[in-house]
Amino acid sequence: MVRAVRTYLDHLVVERGLADNTLKSYRRDLRRYAGWLADRGVEGFDGVREETVTEFLVALREGDQDHPPLSAGSAARTVVAVRGFHRFAVREGLTQVDPSAAVRPPAPAKRLPKALPLSDIERILEAAGAPGTALALRDRALLEVLYGTGARISEAVGLDLDDLDLEQGSVLLRGKGGKERMVPVGSYAREAVNAYLVRGRPELSSVGHGLPAMFLNARGGRLSRQSAWTVLVRAAERAGVPAEVSPHTLRHSFATHLLDGGADVRVVQELLGHASVTTTQVYTLVTVDSLREVYATAHPRALS
């Protein structure tokens, strides 16, 4: 079973080209699954039944002395990994039966994305970094790009110099599974990036090894996801924004503000890099809520 898991993970790397973070999640989930089976004396596919996979799902939700209980969303992600593994085993002839086929992942509670009002976004952008330093220019450019393009944090820190065309006002983003998309960049983000490239990045690059990375750390290396996250959190703290802010908050705000401004949901889908429009449509719920608030306060017969 352990050997089969390794083969499947190799398949995900070579054939599917999954992103590093996704692959790490699959590796962690499947190792837990294999360990759970081994603890019950199951060493091969012949010992796995539908009820076995169901019991594993229950164990995920209940937790044990080594693992805290998982939320419905986290448990669903693990079950998806397990089902993919068993389908692969059938296709490769390792077994003839898929015991996970009828096991459905738990449905996570639908939560609306958190979006900040534009006034809070502007305060965060203004508070980025200590004024007059190369890092301040970098931090402002980073946050402007995140909010101005709706980029994921991994897409932003993965940018190279050649990916951004300031004259055309566009940026090439590399999303999940290596999929690329071209996204327009607004004037505020272009100005912030240009200021960073002219007055900030040369200073950071001088202590490094001439990397093509757009956003550099203080040692001249590529800025990490964790450091970029810290840049945003500190800017939000300095701005006095009380809400819990993450890079995804800027992405959610980007989408919500576009829809509030009249953008078509399919256009927002393309900008966000969603494979399905149904993923993007959750943002329309936020927009409907805002419309309902306006209606309730403005229409003379909205309230009884």
* Dihedral pair phi/psi, residue 265, rounded to 5°: -60, -30
- Does residue 267 share a domain with residue 157? yes
User: Does the pLDDT at position 67 exceed 80?
Assistant: yes
Residues classed as catalytic: 152, 176, 248, 251, 274, 283
Q: Which residue has the higher pLDDT, 274 or 286?
A: 274
Give the count of domains, the chain.
Answer: 2
What is the predicted pLDDT for the residue at 144? 95
Task: Copy the structure tokens of residue 269.
Answer: 């889908």
For CA atoms 296, 297, 298, 301, give the dihedral sign.
Answer: positive
- Does residue 129 share a domain with residue 41? no
Task: Copy the structure tokens of residue 294.
Answer: 């306006």
Domain boundary (91, 110, 142) is at: 91
Contact 145, 171 (CB under 8 A): yes
Residue at 107 is within a domain: no
- Does residue 166 share a domain with residue 272? yes
User: Does the pLDDT at position 240 exceed 50?
Assistant: yes
Q: What is the mean pLDDT of residues 196-208?
A: 93
- Does residue 278 share a domain with residue 191? yes
What three-state secondary structure class fits 173?
A: strand
Q: What global pTM score does this model have?
A: 0.60
- Does residue 168 share a domain with residue 42? no
Confidence of residue 297 (pLDDT cuts 50, 70, 90): low
- Does residue 146 share a domain with residue 45? no
Residue at 109 is within a domain: no
For residue 150, the one-letter residue type is G
Domain boundary (91, 106, 127) is at: 91
Task: Copy the structure tokens of residue 38.
Answer: 């081994």
User: Does the pLDDT at position 62 exceed 80?
Assistant: yes
- Does residue 124 share a domain with residue 86? no
Confidence of residue 304 (pLDDT cuts 50, 70, 90): very low
From the list 42, 46, 12, 44, the residue with the least C-alpha distance to 56 is 42
Residue at 129 is within a domain: yes
Q: Tell me the residue range of the domain where 267 lies.
A: 118-295
